[in-house]
Amino acid sequence: MKKSDHLARLGKVAITIQKTTKITINFVKDAKAWSKEANKRAEQISNTAIVMANTQKEISEYVASYGEVVQVIGQLERDFEQESDDKKKKSIEAEHKKMNKVADGMIKTLNEMLGARMNQIVDGMIEASTLAPLKKR
């Protein structure tokens, strides 16, 4: 084999290595971009999961408080039925009315809280799913 043939083969090998290196560099760039996007998605999903967990905890606590109010209302109703003194009945009735307003307010607040949190959760899920799409080469 002549020297020129060896040089030609080496030239072809060098070109192949150059092309392979360029492809590898592009792949690494793409992988970094994919990783960055995947991290953004993972962070958004994690944030949404935290909001969901906090919402569940807050709702549980709120429902427990509401349960206590309902128990007080129930006790007032039993006291009213057992009471024979009209003055005490009126006092119990006034307290019962006040506690019913508290319970109604709690339900309204819970509905508003749920609506706002559900919107936040859905927005987070949408954002996580609509980040820049991962591209393939």
Task: Determine, yes or no, domain membership for 136.
Answer: no
Nearest to 96 by CA among 82, 81, 78, 76: 76
Task: Determine, yes or no, domain membership for 7.
Answer: yes
Domain range enclosing 89: 3-129
pLDDT of residue 75: 93
Task: Determine, yes or no, domain membership for 41.
Answer: yes
Q: Is the CB of residue 106 less than 8 Å from the CB of residue 62?
A: yes
Task: Determine, yes or no, domain membership for 80.
Answer: yes
Residue-wise pLDDT tens digits, 22-79:
888 888 888 888 888 888 888 888 888 888 888 888 888 988 999 999 999 999 999 9
Task: Determine, yes or no, domain membership for 106.
Answer: yes
Confidence (pTM): 0.59
Task: Determine, yes or no, domain membership for 135.
Answer: no
Task: Determine, yes or no, domain membership for 77.
Answer: yes
Task: Determine, yes or no, domain membership for 87.
Answer: yes
From first CA to last CA, the distance across the chain in angstroms is: 39
Number of domains in the chain: 1
> Mind giving me the DSSP string for 15-84?
HHHHHHHHHHHHHHHHHHHHHHHHHHHHHHHHHHHHHHHHHHHHHHHHHHHHHHHHHHHHHHHHHHHH--
Q: How far is it, in rounded angstroms, from Cα 125 to Cα 29?
A: 27
**Residue listed under structure tokens 């859905």:** 122
Q: How far is it, in rounded angstroms, from Cα 95 to Cα 24?
A: 77
Report whether pLDDT(134) > 60.
no
